[in-house]
């Protein structure tokens, strides 16, 4: 998932914003969905995206905080999910050099 958001410790990051990438690994018992081939028996990726989008819209200083909020919000909204791994990347962070990305995985 790609977002433009305002996370960072520097004032410019909070005002101007930058690009972020979010990926999730969702762990849940998908056997019913596998057998039925019915979206009602699965975790809706659209609904998961909406939860991630809401959290990405809330400015934070640290990407660790954002990743933790995403993880907690997804687990709370979808009780069927047993665990989730969130990888959050800040693209081209302003570190005074050529840096493609920084990322955290929780």
Active-site residue flag, 90? yes
**Rounded Cα gap, residues 3 and 100, in angstroms:** 16
**Angle, helix 63-77 to helix 45-56, in steps of 10 degrees:** 140
For the chain, what percentages of helix, strand and coil (3-state, to nearest 5) are there? 40, 30, 30
- Which residue in the list 25, 77, 87, 90 is annotated as catalytic? 90
Who contacts 105 (Cβ-Cβ below 8 Å, separation ≥6)? 67, 85, 86, 87, 88
CA distances from 104 to 66, 67, 76, 79 (A): 10, 8, 21, 24
Catalytic residues: 90
């Amino acid at each position: 998932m790609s977002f433009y958001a305002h996370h960072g410790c520097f004032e410019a990051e909070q005002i101007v914003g930058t690009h972020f990438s979010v990926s999730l690994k969702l762990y849940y018992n998908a056997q019913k969905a596998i057998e039925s081939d019915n979206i009602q028996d699965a975790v809706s990726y659209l609904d998961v995206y909406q939860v991630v989008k809401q959290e990405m819209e809330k400015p934070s200083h640290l990407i660790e905080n954002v990743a933790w909020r995403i993880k907690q919000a997804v687990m709370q909204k979808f009780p069927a999910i047993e665990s989730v791994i969130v990888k959050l990347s800040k693209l081209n962070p302003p570190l005074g050099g050529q840096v493609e990305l920084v990322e955290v995985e929780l």
